[in-house]
Amino acid sequence: MIKKKIVILGSTGSIGKNLLKIIKNDKKNFDVFLLSANKNISLLIKQTKEFNVKNIIITNHKSYLIANERLKGKKINIYNSLSMLNKILNKKKIYYSMVAIVGLDGLSPCLNLIKYTKNIAIANKESLICGWALIKKSLKKYKTNFIPVDSEHFSIFSLINNKNYNSIDKIFITASGGPFFKSNNINLKNIKISEALNHPNWKMGKKISIDSSTMMNKVFEVIEAKNIFDIKYNNIKILIHPKSYVHTILKFTNGLVKMLIHDPNMKIPIFNSLYINQDKKINSKNLDLSLLNNLELSTPSIKQFPLIKILKNLPEFNSLYETALITINDFFVNKFLEKKITYFLLLSNIYKFSKSPDFYKFTKIPVKNISDINKTRYYVSSKLKTLSV
């Protein structure tokens, strides 16, 4: 039996590690052909040995040099750039690829992978938000199956089950509310970084944890849903659900309403993205009736989560403004994590600059190529550095 070739970009992150745990239990069916990482070479080398991987990419130059020394004499091809994908994958038939790189740097390799893979699972929010027009065109050209990995979007994808997207009337995306949802009269200026990072349900990286606390992650998820499922913003709603048990609720045009439930565990959507449309079993918890009987669903307060107002300013087509918005958010989240601004300024600056004419002008410019996205990111980043915060 020929093993199915697997590519994982970002194998040392939480999604990559979860995927490899799943593959470990089914090694007879999968050949891990390529892994990539940035700096965590100790874990990458461990993964390479465990899964007998012959190709690795290490994007950090210093880490690349160290890995070369540590793997000297081994029959492993080591590369220093994701731009080498075309050379590595030339004429190879990949069954499943996972793009779990963080940031807009994941867009170019994502587009390259589509050419060579039968199925592509994308966990890179920035690519789906900023470059969806390019991804959609490439998926169609190369007849590649796309699976979203975010729990909310995989849930929507699963409930639709290859039906026409026009059958969707409303999409409800759930949000935990983050660490401050149940805090009354909180002083935004005194919030500590550790408090903002203390997510009640999920273990995530610093950046996404801050985005969850501000609700900016849900703004981005709404954009993703609009792009992937070709639905207008007015038909997508956010619901607060503190337990993160329900991941989406769909109302269909035929009057039916469906919800998808699973434990707040990314292993479940990752597992199902790998075994899409296959009858495979995963160990999971029993249905929690106590949670079902008390879902605590509610509409988020604009006063508590002011960044939700940004959704009213978004264009219906995939524009360069989404790149500007991600760059603005990244800039101020980094400032907060570096202790250069307060949490209050984090919120106020993101909203203020999202409306700035310097950046809002990009709402009128459609996405045509990666070069335009990179130029927009550079322009916005450079402009922000010159402004007083």
pLDDT at res. 179: 78
CA pair distance 264, 280, nearest whole angstrom: 20
* Residue 163: other Cβ atoms inside 10 A: 10
Q: For the segment 261-302, what is each residue's pLDDT rounded down to a tens digit?
A: 998 888 999 999 999 888 888 888 888 898 889 988 999 989
Q: Tell me the three state secondary structure of residue 74.
A: coil
How far from chain centre, in Å, is Cα 31? 25
**According to CATH, what is the number of the domain 4-149?**
3.40.50.720
Which stretches within the chain are classed as H helix?
Answer: 14-24, 41-50, 61-70, 85-89, 107-114, 125-130, 132-142, 151-160, 193-197, 206-214, 216-229, 267-274, 289-292, 321-337, 343-354, 357-360, 370-386
pTM, two decimals, is 0.93
- pLDDT digits 0-9 by tens, 220-264: 999 999 999 999 999 999 999 988 899 999 999 999 999 999 988
Q: Is the pLDDT of residue 72 over 90?
A: no
Residue 388: is its pLDDT beyond 60? no
Q: How far is CA 382 from CA 324, 328, 353, 356, in A?
A: 11, 11, 13, 15
For the chain, domain boundaries? 4-149, 153-308, 319-389
Tell me what the mean pLDDT of segment 213-226 comes to. Answer: 95
DSSP bridge pairs for 94: 117
Q: Taking residues 353-369, report their average pLDDT.
A: 96
Q: For 165-172, what is the mean pLDDT?
A: 91
CA count, 13 A, side-chain hemisphere, 99: 29
The pLDDT confidence band at residue 103, using thresholds 50, 70 and 90, is confident
pLDDT of residue 365: 97
Q: Give pLDDT tens digits for 302-354.
A: 988 999 999 999 999 999 999 999 999 999 999 999 999 999 999 999 999 99
> Strands, E, within 181-253: which ranges?
236-240, 246-252
Q: Which of 178-182, 185-189, 339-343 has the highest mean pLDDT?
A: 339-343
